[in-house]
Amino acid sequence: MGQSQKLLFVTDLDATFLDHSYSWAQAAPAILRLRNLGLPLVLNSSKTLAEMEDLAKSLDLDSPIVAENGGLLAIRKERPGDYAVQINGIARSEILQAAHELRCRLGYKFAGFDDWSDQELSERTGLSIPQAQRSRSRLATEPITWNDTEVHRLAFAEALSARGIRMLRGGRFWHLMGSADKADGTAAALKFYQDREPDVEWVLVALGDSANDTAMLEAADIAVVIPHADGPHITPYAPRVVHAPFPTSKGWNAAVLSILDEYC
């Protein structure tokens, strides 16, 4: 790697950096190598900032965090655990105002995290109360359950779209969010480092496993695809695509170490 060139790693979490027990233990050798080389690692997930802070702390990261599917960039301040938040999409307060106004005026039947208590969200999801509290601590997205007809859902989605709000299907919930995605969050993180070190040529390495990561991977110089133990693998189009040899954190570790061996 040239003197003016540095690697910037941006990673998805679930089933990419974290294994199915939410552990990153098998990625520890690569994390140590990144730390020793002084190379940044940016976490980029659909999780909330509150859900990601403990992980960033356990990794001893001072890098920005991309949360809520690229809806916000959180930049670490000098005091540990204190972040300055930049909303990349639409603020949750605006999303709630638009959705609730439509519900009140037109009678759409749905309910979301803002409507539920911590206890109710815990019962619906199986999260502990503290986990539910962190999951409800949203700044740029609102998960909902749709309890109405598909015809009404399409009309609701069209009305939201006119206000710049998307309605996307997730695993368990529909998600109301702005136009930002993980690629936008990645671009914001890259700009943070470009502004901080303008003489550096940053080589962006993105790691992900699912369709939700495709835009992020395709925005990278090197896209690392983490395979699933079963099921189809994603096929992003990037200048260079690397396929990790194993699923989850074990594959993440192997791929990162291989790239570091090549560049450093």
DSSP letters of the chain? Answer: --TTEEEEEEE-TBTTTB-TTS--GGGHHHHHHHHHHT--EEEE-SS-HHHHHHHHHHTT--S-EEETTTTEEEEE-SSTT-EEEEESS--HHHHHHHHHHHHHHH---EEEGGGS-HHHHHHHH---HHHHHHHH--SSEEEEEE-S-HHHHHHHHHHHHTTT-EEEE-SSSEEEE-S--HHHHHHHHHHHHHHHSTT-EEEEEEEE-SGGGHHHHHTSSEEEEPPPSSSPPP----SEEEE-SSSHHHHHHHHHHHHHHHH-
Please give the positions annotated as active site.
12
